[in-house]
Amino acid sequence: MIRGTEDVNLDKKQKRRIRAALQSANLLTWEVLHMDVFRTDRIRNVVLLGHSGSGKTSLTEAMAYLSGMTNRLGKVTDGNTVSDFDKEEIKRKCSISTTLVPVVWGKNKINVLDTPGMFDFVGEA
């Protein structure tokens, strides 16, 4: 059984077809088998906007940590956050591009968009 499909109205035949399609494409991995499926009424998209240094990336990191997505709380100053992974972002200690961080909270999925705050990168927000 594909985890997370309990809320989705799929019969056994449809689930077998999904499994067969994934197997034929060599995509049947542990991650796919244990991937949660969310109904649209349980998905929220949240954009964090603010000026540079206002704590958008730190808030994103805290949300990922509290939801259990990561087992450590990264810091921008240490260069080990989930959303600022590019070498240039680590060097500058600020976001350059918008990053999507999916956070699962209970039965809901929150897509957190961590945007850059510096005016130089406003086109990315």
The band of 26, judged by pLDDT with boundaries at 50, 70 and 90, is low
Question: In what side-by-side order are the strands of the sheet with 43-48?
Answer: 43-48, 108-114, 99-105
68: left (phi over 0), alpha (psi -120 to 50) or beta: left
- How much is the pLDDT for 122? 57
pLDDT in tens, 52-81: 888 888 888 889 888 888 888 888 888 788
Of 105, 106, 112, whose CA–CA distance to 45 is shortest?
Answer: 112
The number of residues making up the chain comes to 125
What is the pTM (predicted TM-score) of this model? 0.64
The band of 35, judged by pLDDT with boundaries at 50, 70 and 90, is low
How many other β-carbons are positioned within 10 Å of the β-carbon of residue 110?
16
Tokens at residue 30, please? Answer: 């542990």
